[in-house]
Amino acid sequence: MAEHYAYENNRLKTSTIIAGTDFGDAVTEEYTYDDFGNVTQKKSMTGYDDKTLVEKAQYDDQGKFVIKKQIISVWKLILLIMTGGRFSQKKIPIIISRPIPMISGEN
């Protein structure tokens, strides 16, 4: 097992964990941050099969609370929106031949 970490501005930028001796067993995660230091995007990718999972978070103006979260996998987009202190969930199937739709804060 091997682990590799890369940092930028004192924040974790990428991590790669290889479970075996082959890169096909690797899981790489890339992180993006806002000005408050909150993770706004985490992109997880696996070795050769190129399966990707993207998690995005949007925070309030003070950067304290998550107000919207998107989870984008190979087959679907899960949108979580904070309303009244609770998250509501919406699942959207992804058609591979078209790009992933951009989603605004309003539904």
pLDDT digits over 33-64, tens only? 999 999 999 998 887 666 788 889 999 999 99
Write down the domain spans for the chain: 2-83
* pTM summary value: 0.70
Give me the average pLDDT of each 10-residue run along the chain (107 residues): 91 89 80 96 80 87 89 69 67 51 48
pLDDT value for 50: 66
Share of the chain above pLDDT 70, in %: 63
Of 10, 11, 1, 3, the residue nearest 32 (C-alpha): 11
Burial 62-75 (b: 16+ CB within 10 A, else e): eeeeebbbbbbeee
